[in-house]
Amino acid sequence: MKRYSVFALAREAMRHHTGWERAWASPEPRKHYDVVIVGAGGHGLATAYYLGKNFGITNVAVIEKGWLGGGNTGRNTTIIRSNYLQDPSAAIYDKALKLYENLSQDLNYNVMFSPRGLLMLAQTHHEVRGYLRTVHANHLQGVATEWIEPAKVKEIVPIINIDGPRYPVLGALYQRRGGTARHDAVAWGYARACSAMGMHIIQQTEVTGVRQQDGQVTGVDTSRGFIGCGKLAMIVAGHSGQLAEMAGFRLPIEAVALQALVSEPIKPCMDVVVMANTVHGYMSQSDKGEMVIGGGTDGFNNFTQRGSFHHIEETLRALVETFPMISRLKMLRQWGGIVDMTGDRSPILSKTPLGNCFINCGWGTGGFKAIPGSGWAMAELMAKGHSPLAADFGLERFREGRFIDESVAAGVAH
């Protein structure tokens, strides 16, 4: 694989960009791999990447029923932060944030990581108490966050109305290192790096069954035939319940649609990410100038990947008191993704009742930010049978009642 560099760019500019090679190969599947990963979203691709990079395991196939990054990874609003409450969450999300900080260099692919800062507004006294508690917890965890007063919020976000009649801004939890990255680029960067290590990314191929013998996984049935494997990882977000059923076990997961929308592009007006969890809305401005806006999940289970009109109205109605200027914007596009919600709003990175079969899911509305840390931990779990970062996120916690309750930090938005 040729490295991307300023010299490569200059060379290609001179020859009218005719010399770029394909970013990743599209090979025919082999009969057997050491590891098969189902799902070429960010988490599946990152797992493959760190299996190769950290453990030298490269006889790996990532099987994707659509196109890589076409699931939630390519549909999310790209918020990155690590200001969670519980220690295991702060550890894995902060690992992810640290990896994001150098991901472009590591992958030799510009993922457009933009640590522009992130504000979580407190608009009720209950939220003030909750976020102060999070700031204290973050300090103990070594995650830098701070509490800021309303006047400082206004200074950082001039377009905000801090004196709303229903929900005035009472302060905010501020993480300066938080921000955004380009979602497609994260998937593409990992895919290119995996392909360069000789791994197979097999798109347009649906996994339809999981085969086993004597309690051990032996491979998967796909729309292109049987593919054998030594180890299997199911990393399919909203479709996790279906894959688990194929493997013969059940998951404590609900699949619901989460949607987002963008406005017409406007001049730069907000250079931080702002989340308003009381009213279920959040907003950032993309490089193109569009206001990227997200809300809560649909109130019923579905797999439509579209979302519903009443939700757009609810989200904008909620945000307009805090951001009056958006009432004059035209909305351009709206879309949905199927997110996988656990009861404690924390992910599952785990062995399963089926031998050599692993699962990574339950990232719900907020897994984009976790992709590098999740891939790192999952690769370690698969290669060594144990990962300190994943240890608390096992499936057994639901049986043992050891919940990692992140409903405040993760249940509403991101």
Ligand X SMILES: Cc1cc2nc3c(=O)[nH]c(=O)nc-3n(C[C@H](O)[C@H](O)[C@H](O)COP(=O)(O)OP(=O)(O)OC[C@H]3O[C@@H](n4cnc5c(N)ncnc54)[C@H](O)[C@@H]3O)c2cc1C
Residues that bind ligand X (CB under 6 A): 38-44, 63-66, 70-73, 75-79, 206-207, 235-237, 239, 258-260, 294, 337, 339, 363, 365-369, 414
Least Å distance between CB 282 and ligand X?
8
Distance CA 335, CA 25 (A): 29
CA–CA gap between residue 259 and residue 305 (Å, rounded): 8
70/219 with CB nearer ligand X: 70
* Tokens, residue 352: 């399963």
The minimum distance between CB 113 and ligand X, in angstroms, equals 13
Distance from C-alpha of 413 to C-alpha of 374, rounded to nearest angstrom: 19
Residue (162 or 276) nearer to ligand X, CB: 276
Cβ closer to ligand X: 37 or 170?
37
| Residue with Cβ nearer ligand X (110 or 203) | 203
Q: Which is nearer to ligand X, 188 or 368 (CB)?
A: 368
Rounded alpha-carbon distances, angstroms, from residue 37 to 94, 140, 203, 207, 248: 24, 36, 12, 10, 17
φ, ψ of residue 73 to 5 degrees: the values are -60, -40
Distance CA 339, CA 345 (A): 11
Name the residue nearer to ligand X (CB basis): 170 or 338.
338
Residue 154 C-beta: closest distance to ligand X, Å: 24
Q: What distance, in Å, lies between the first and last C-alpha atoms of the chain?
A: 35
* Amino acid making up residue 7: F
CB of 223: closest distance to ligand X in angstroms? Answer: 8
> Which residues, 6 or more positions from 102, have their beta carbon under 8 angstroms from its beta carbon?
none
Tell me how far, at minimum, the Cβ of 142 lies from ligand X, in Å.
21
Q: How far is the CB of 128 from ligand X (least distance, A)?
A: 23
- Beta carbons within 8 Å of 397's beta carbon, 6+ residues apart: 344, 403, 404
CB closest to ligand X, residue no: 41
